[in-house]
């Protein structure tokens, strides 16, 4: 059984896996979003393969539906659901951290192998490679504050700082298996992993899809 939740906005709907951090796709309707999620399963399997985790897709079951907000409409799954408030057992937590780390590795490899200039959208929009790398890093610094990590700005190309920052994220998350969140008013751990993984994977796929011919 593949368990998901639906984040329903007025114009955009997300189907998000509760078991596989970062496996999330959107569409105009719930049906569209679920179909997109399944279409992207083979691409997500590259993440699970890197993490050496068996990935099986079977019957999709919607565990929860939540009403989206402005961030949903903007294009990001943004809501904490009831499953996020449950403690995570240690093997699942370790597996999910490994998936996040695998996503980081594949993103970095894609940055290295990609051309600096990416194909623009139909209206000439869209960031180029280096701007995407910077955006992902800055978003992760903001996400880090939600779990008590306050890191000074640094550039994406600073591999030492980038590695240390990611190691700190993983270390903080590993200590949290018996807590729903690390900070008062902070993010629950399952949501933190899902949001971080979604963001880096979404931009990984964007870079792959926007390569110039």
Write out pLDDT tens, residues 117-156. Answer: 999 987 678 999 999 999 999 999 999 999 999 999 999 9
CB atoms within 10 A of CB 123: 6
Q: Say yes or no: 46 and 90 in one domain.
A: no
What integer pLDDT is reported at residue 178 of this predicted model? 54
**Domain end position, chosen among 24, 50, 83:** 83
Contact in structure between 101 and 170 (CB atoms under 8 Å) = yes
Q: Are residues 63 and 167 in the same domain?
A: no
Lowest mean pLDDT among 8-12, 45-49, 60-64, 179-183: 179-183
Length of the chain: 213
* Mean pLDDT value across residues 69-96: 94
Please say which residue of 63, 83, 103 terminates a domain.
Answer: 83
> Does residue 34 have a pLDDT over 80?
yes
Q: Say yes or no: 100 and 7 in one domain.
A: no
CATH number of residue 109's parent domain: 1.20.120
Do 93 and 79 lie in one domain? The reply is no
User: 73 pLDDT exceeds 90?
Assistant: yes
- Residues 98 and 134 occupy one common structural domain: yes
- Count of structural domains within the chain: 2
The residue that leads in pLDDT, 178 or 118, is 118
Please give the share of the chain, as a percent, with pLDDT higher than 90: 88
β-strand partners of 65: 6
For position 142, what pLDDT does the model report?
Answer: 96
Mark which of 57, 83, 109 sits at the end of a domain: 83
Check whether 83 has a pLDDT greater than 70: yes
Is residue 183 scored above 90 in pLDDT? no
User: What is the separation of C-alpha 176 from the centre of its chain, rounded to a whole number of angstroms?
Assistant: 19
**Same domain (yes/no): 99, 183:** yes
> What is the mean pLDDT of the segment spanning 92-115?
97
Q: Indicate if 52 and 67 belong to the same structural domain.
A: yes
Q: Is the pTM of this model over 0.75?
A: yes
Same domain, 69 and 138: no
Dist CA 202 CA 18 (whole Å): 16
* Residue with the larger pLDDT of the pair 88 and 155: 155
Range of the domain at 26: 2-83
pLDDT of residue 185: 80
Report which of 141, 148, 133 is spatially closest to residue 179, judged by C-alpha positions: 148
pLDDT of residue 27: 98
Residues 142 and 193 in one domain: yes
Q: Residues 109-128: pLDDT tens digits?
A: 999 999 999 999 876 789 99
Q: Which residue has the higher pLDDT, 158 or 185?
A: 158
Are 186 and 98 in a shared domain? yes
Q: Do residue 133 and residue 169 come from a single domain?
A: yes
Shared-domain flag, residues 100 and 192: yes
Rounded CA gap, 129 and 115, in Å?
7
User: Taking 70 as the threshold, does the pLDDT of residue 32 lie above it?
Assistant: yes
pLDDT band (50, 70, 90) for residue 181 = low
């Amino acid at each position: 059984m593949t368990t998901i939740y639906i984040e329903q906005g007025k114009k955009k709907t997300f189907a998000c896996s509760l078991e596989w951090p970062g496996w999330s796709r959107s569409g105009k309707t719930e049906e569209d979003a679920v179909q997109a999620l399944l279409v992207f399963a083979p691409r997500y399997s590259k993440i699970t393969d890197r993490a050496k985790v068996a990935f099986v897709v079977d019957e999709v079951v919607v565990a929860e539906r939540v009403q989206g907000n402005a961030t949903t409409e903007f294009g990001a799954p943004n809501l904490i659901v009831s499953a996020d408030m449950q403690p995570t057992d240690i093997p699942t937590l370790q597996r999910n951290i490994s998936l996040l780390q695998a996503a980081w590795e594949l993103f970095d490899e894609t940055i290295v192998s990609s051309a600096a200039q990416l194909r623009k959208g139909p209206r000439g929009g869209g960031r180029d490679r280096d701007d995407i790398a910077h955006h992902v890093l800055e978003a992760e610094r903001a996400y880090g504050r939600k779990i008590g990590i306050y890191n000074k700005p640094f550039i994406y190309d600073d591999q030492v700082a980038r590695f240390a920052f990611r190691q700190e994220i993983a270390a903080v998350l590993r200590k949290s298996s018996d807590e729903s969140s690390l900070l008062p008013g902070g993010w629950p751990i399952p949501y933190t992993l899902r949001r971080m993984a979604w963001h880096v994977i979404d931009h990984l796929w964007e870079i792959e899809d926007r390569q110039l011919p």
